[in-house]
Chains A and B, each alone.
Chain A
Amino acid sequence: MNELPQQLVNGLLLGSMYGLVAIGYTMVYGIVQLINFAHGEIFMIGGFGALSVWLLLPGGTTLWIALPLMLIGAVLVAVLVAVGAEFFAYRPLRGGPRLAPLITAIGLSLALQQAVWAWYPEAKSSRTFPEIPGGPFHLGPITIQTGDVFLLIAAPVSMVILGYFVMRTRTGRGMQATAQDPDTAKLMGINTDRIIVVAFALGAAFAAIGAVAYGLKYGEVQFRMGFLLGLKAFTAAVLGGIGNIYGAMIGGLVLGVAETLASAYVNHIPGMEQLGGQSWANAWAFVLLILVLLFRPQGLLGERVADRA
């Protein structure tokens, strides 16, 4: 059996999840030039938000009713935490040296992780997440799990909605203006503070959708799930061209496929047997990042906003 089609699908699914989370990194960076390292934890908190809704619902609720509610719960919790983080942690530092908010973001990331670890019931090890019942679907040589179906629908739909929002709505255009030049945007009557909050909130919402997809796909959430995935999503954002929302999605897909193919095939290359396998997936992901940064420092899709420095 040829495994290539299946491996490609595996990679695309993983990549869609990276992409959903990467949007948050790229939007915040595009507007305030801040790398929000706490974004991975926003993703994780979204997962726990969805789990909480599931636990609060009466037992026996079918997933078809529960899933929309879980999604709403996840988005609400994630947005709330992200907006709170923006207000309490980042806003006071705006205009300060660039490294200050970066370090704050790393600190915030640890604080959020530890808070869930310490206070969420039984979160010290993995918590099981409800799964969509039903067997896998077979399309020729490809098998798709029920848990993946959500991701398959959610990722493109989210992307289309985001594209419409940024390009067509007033707030979206305000975001573009703020990204290009915050001072001029302010002079033109755009409430930049509000735009920044919207950017954080939107990023958090997409991360929360990604988190629900993660829970459904792997059947568990744990307090550290945002750490590595956040770093990968950040890599995806840089890969696609940080600041560009389409770049984030493309970067995520490229990263996911590259990682999967590397772990599936590198060990077949003569002399590279030791460097193959899933344990090297992360290494290959970062090799790819370095290569892209070397030859195309602006990322695959480049950066749309003008360089201000």
Chain B
Amino acid sequence: MRQRSLFMLTAVLTTGALTLTACGSRDDNAGGGSEGGGGTTVVIGIDAPLTGDLSALGLGIKNSVDLAAKQANKDKVVDGVTFKVEALDDQAQPSSGQQNATKFVADKQVMGVVGPLNSSVAESMQKVFDDAKLAQVSPANTSPTLSQGPDWNGGTKARPYKSYFRTATTDAIQGPFAAQYLFNDAKKKKVFLIDDKKTYGAGLAGTFKAEFTKLGGTIAGTDHVDPETKDFSSVVTKIKASKADAVYYGGEYPAAGPLSKQIKKAGAKIPLVGGDGIYSADFIKLSGKEGEGDLATSVGAPLDTLPSAKEFVANYKAEGYKEAFEAYGGYSYDAAWSIIEAVKKVAEDNDGKLPTDARAKVIEALQSVSFDGVTGKVSFDEFGDTTNKQLTVYQYKGGAWAPVKSGTLG
């Protein structure tokens, strides 16, 4: 009898442990840098979710960085330096991200890392990179805390890590931008607020709420969802009962898609609005025809309207990548290119060779890069944030995202 209850206890504990960790790590295809024939090889690391729900965005990042490296090698941007990429999969898990960061740090050929996608993953990587003086440029992180410190909203901005840069704009701009659009342009006055409690989602929802209530809008209700589950029926019932005229969701498309579908199916014909985390072709797939009319804000101007982006889009097509570049393609290309520019400056300052403390020098050089990238002018401010603050509202119309309004935060 005793043995039996022990066994039951083991089983229950195992269940708990499995739930908490929710999937372990998957195979890592770390190749290890090899010596290029003649000259120096510089590896640009990529950390993004390459598998799992967010892989559509992650693979877009990987391909775009790969394209930048190929372009740099073809044009011989840095004499005597061959760029290679090495992509590691973080599965959107902070623990995997940190392991990947440690791997990049250990590889002496890595001079900079593009990634990650998720702000929560970035939090786990920042210190590892900063301790090793290895530059990190994220194409997608939008949590203001990452570059401006935990008290950014209280007025005391302090940059926690000198090695962290990003080409994406922050939630501090994106949330309010969505709030202004909803209140002023779409005339929505009563919004139900939902987030997934992750760094990105909760941050976005917070900044949205602050601006929306300041404008005079009301929050009809709030709730938090677990993005691992697909059953949102209890939340949906609450939304319907609240009579809100829009739902703002802080989070990503794997939960937002089914959520949007379930809201409309339950009979609440109101749009779901989100940030760049739902601006993906997969959102359209997951929300189905019910998602028509949903809105998303994303960083930058629509890629196909910028002349600087035309070349990127054409080259991307020419390389024949299987996956689309998605929301962060242009930003990933620019992030990789900023590292390439920084490596170039460091090599030029040292007679064409990389010095022994090249990593620290790359960080210094990144601080002052300035070039015309895919998404516009690329340079970083004193916090490592992009100086490009353009945002666009997109609407799901006729089976695709169509830009509705572009601008900067007014």
Contact = CB atoms under 8 A, between A and B. Distances in A.
A98 interface: yes
A98 B22 contact: no
Nearest to A13: B233
A277 interface: yes
Nearest to B3: A309
A228 B231 CA distance: 12
A10 B196 CA distance: 21
Given A228-B228, A260-B234, A278-B235, A102 B11 contact: yes
Question: How many B residues touch the partner, as a band?
Answer: 35 or more
A227 B23 contact: yes
A128 B197 CA distance: 26
Given A231-B18, A309-B4, A125 B225 contact: no
Given A3-B240, A128-B288, 11 more contacts: A7-B237, A11-B234, A125-B53, A222-B53, A228-B229, A264-B237, A281-B226, A282-B229, A293-B12, A307-B1, A309-B1
A220 B287 CA distance: 10
Interface of B: 1, 3-5, 7-8, 10-12, 14-16, 18-19, 22-24, 26, 51-53, 55-56, 196-197, 222-226, 228-235, 237-238, 240-241, 254, 257-258, 261-262, 265-267, 282, 285-286, 288
A141 B69 CA distance: 59
A289 B12 contact: yes
A235 interface: yes
A219 B288 contact: yes
Contact of A281 (B229, B238, B241, B265): B229
B286 A7 contact: no
A253 to B, nearest CB: 15
Most chain A C-beta atoms within 10 Å of own C-beta, residue among B197, B222, B231: B231
Contact of B225 (A11, A114, A260, A279): A279
A294 B136 CA distance: 50
Interface in A190-240: 218-220, 222, 224-225, 227-228, 231, 234-235, 238
Given A278-B225, A286-B19, A297-B5, A264 B231 contact: no
A35 interface: yes
Contact of A278 (B8, B12, B226, B254): B226
Contact of B265 (A10, A110, A145): A145
Most chain A C-beta atoms within 10 Å of own C-beta, residue among B1, B196, B233, B237: B233
A219 B10 contact: no
Interface in A8-31: 10-11, 13-14
* Secondary structure type dominating chain B contacts: helix
Given A220-B258, A282-B19, A136 B55 contact: no
A6 interface: yes
Given A3-B241, A10-B233, A278-B229, A218 B3 contact: no
B15 A136 contact: no
Nearest to A263: B234
Interface residues of A, number: 55
* Secondary structure type dominating chain A contacts: helix
Contacts of A7: 233-234, 237
Interface string A248-286: 000000000000110110010000000011111110001
Nearest to A126: B286
A124 B59 CA distance: 11
Contact of B15 (A125, A231, A277): A231
Contacts of B24: 110
Most chain B C-beta atoms within 10 Å of own C-beta, residue among A98, A102, A220, A234: A220
B148 to A, nearest CB: 26
A117 interface: yes
B12 A238 contact: yes
A279 B19 contact: no
Contacts of B7: 98
Contacts of B286: 126, 128, 219-220
Contacts of B223: 267, 276-278
A106 interface: yes
